[in-house]
Amino acid sequence: MTRLKWSIQALAAPAFEQIRLFPRFVCVADELAIDVEEALRGIRSVGRPRAAGLSSWEAVQQHSALAGAARPHCAS
């Protein structure tokens, strides 16, 4: 649960803070999404997420999809 908390806090942080969390050679948006997904998988492997947690995750996915449509890829 600690990893999911960190991942969501990183996702909610301002862009300038997000950039500091990862090495320069990675796409920060991709890394944030991967971290959240991996944390969620870890929780799912332990047990079924509570309905509220799953709803929150679905909201994050919808927001990410909308953000991805605006910026489909990271520039190298």
Count the domains in the chain.
1
Q: What is the mean pLDDT of residues 7-22?
A: 91
Contact 44, 38 (CB under 8 A): no
> Whole-angstrom Cα distance, residue 74 to residue 29?
8
Residue 39: what pLDDT?
85
In a domain, 74, yes or no: no
Q: How many CB atoms sit inside 10 A of residue 12's CB? A: 11
Q: Is the pLDDT of residue 3 over 80?
A: yes
Per-residue pLDDT of 25-75, as tens digits, reads 999 999 998 988 888 887 776 665 555 555 666 666 666 665 555 445 565
Residue 4: what pLDDT?
84
Residue 57: what pLDDT?
64
In a domain, 76, yes or no: no
In a domain, 75, yes or no: no
